[in-house]
Structure 1
Amino acid sequence: MRLDLIPSTEAAPADATPSLVRRLIPNPPVSRRTLVKGLVVSAIAATVVPFEWFLSRRAANAGPTSEWTASNCSDGYPGGYGEGYNNWWSDGRAVCFGGWRMGSYPCSGGFHFEGWRGYDDEGYTSSRVTTCSGRNAWRWTAYSTLYRCSDANTFVRWNDGDSYTGLTIAMCRV
């Protein structure tokens, strides 16, 4: 096989005859070569993008899980701080501090979940962050119960298209 006999993707061969499509549509909006290039690029993207999604979701599940065992992060925050209120979808008392939302809903394995979850008209994508002198979670005693409070940056998208990104806190019983 001679490589110089393979037709160019940029220009038609000198002895090329018009195709049936060219005879039926004398001035098509796009050339056949451009259409084939577009299909090839689309096929490559359709093959590669799911791998990228899979690998990025897999990497997101490797967040920190170390915890601060002193109550109220007192070394990281001298004097501690006051408790907030549970404002996720599950019931609960005032436990933990900080964050746009906090409560027991995002608990998974004793820490804030990572990855995607959905509830009602909201979808959440969370990624754990480090706080309290490089740790992700801290112990908190409230109402004679020991909790682990764990942080994550959470992206929320509602069904109407609105979205918000903020710090969320998981309040998990220990």
Structure 2
Amino acid sequence: MRFDQIPFADREPAENSTPSHVLASIATTTPDRRNVLRGMMIAAATAALVPFEWLATRRQAEAGPTSEWTSSNCTDGYPQGYNEQSNNWWSSGPAACFGGWRRGSYPCSGGWHFEGFRSYSDEGYTSTRIATACGAGSTKKNAWRWTASGSVYRCSDASTRTVWNSGESYTDLTISMCRI
């Protein structure tokens, strides 16, 4: 077939033209009601069951690092110590940890910074624990302990991507302040 033989969609067909055999058979075919209903039932069942299949086969993501400096005054991780910074996430509590774009007890899960997705107000958070920010020199860990107001806390690091309802996003280090 040549391109010049393909008819134009916006022009009348030639007087002596006939539809192709395939088009002629489609135009005269009437579907059986049972086949139509069978197709609709299969489509509805598929649409309803596929999400369950996805949930059943989803594998749990591997947890990020959970190594920590265990000295309760953090001298093993930060020999010079640090000045605590107040919480600036969605929960209150004493100043214990420092650093990071946000700090506080909101991102705690099982004593460590949560991993995965959470949302609050108009923000969605996707966090992954890291072991590249906590400590001095070449030895770094995911968390350190700190004593504040008579309690011991684990300050755990994660890289968190925040997305607002407006579509704007920001990724930075966040710290969870988990009481242990």
TM over 0.5: yes
Paired residue type of 2:171: T
Distance 1:91 1:80 in 2: 23
The one of 19, 23, 37 aligned to 1:20: 23
The residue correspondences of 1:107-146 to structure 2 (distance < 5 A) are 107-130=108-131, 131-132=134-135, 133-146=139-152
Distance 1:72 1:151 in 2: 17
Deviation at 1:91, TM superposition (A): 1.3
CA contact (8 A) 1:72 1:81 kept: no
Deviation at 1:96, TM superposition (A): 0.4
The residue correspondences of 1:9-158 to structure 2 (distance < 5 A) are 17=20, 19-20=22-23, 54=58, 58-59=60-61, 61-130=62-131, 131-132=134-135, 133-158=139-164
Distance 2:110 2:127 in 1: 15
The Cα RMSD (Å) is 2.6
Paired residue type of 1:78: P
Paired residue type of 1:103: G
Query: Given the two structures, how large is their TM-score scaled by the length of structure 2?
Result: 0.64
Deviation at 1:94, TM superposition (A): 1.2
CA contact (8 A) 1:85 1:95 kept: yes
CA contact (8 A) 2:153 2:179 kept: yes
The one of 142, 148, 168 aligned to 2:174: 168
Identity across aligned pairs (percent)? 63
Rg (Cα) greater in structure:
2
Unaligned runs of 5+ in 2: 1-19, 28-53
Shifted more, 72-81 versus 107-116: the winner is 72-81
CA contact (8 A) 2:69 2:77 kept: no
Deviation at 1:18, TM superposition (A): 5.8
User: Aligned residue for 2:42?
Assistant: none
Provide the secondary structure at the position in 2 that maps to 1:20: helix
Distance 1:166 1:72 in 2: 25
Q: For residues 14-70 of structure 1, what are the alpha-carbon distances to aligned partners after superposition, in whole Å with 9 as ceiling and x for unaligned?
A: xxx46429xx9xxxxxxxxxxxxxxxxxxxxxxxxx79xx56xx33x4101122111
CA contact (8 A) 2:115 2:129 kept: yes
Deviation at 1:144, TM superposition (A): 1.0
CA contact (8 A) 1:156 1:165 kept: yes
Unaligned runs of 5+ in 1: 1-16, 25-49
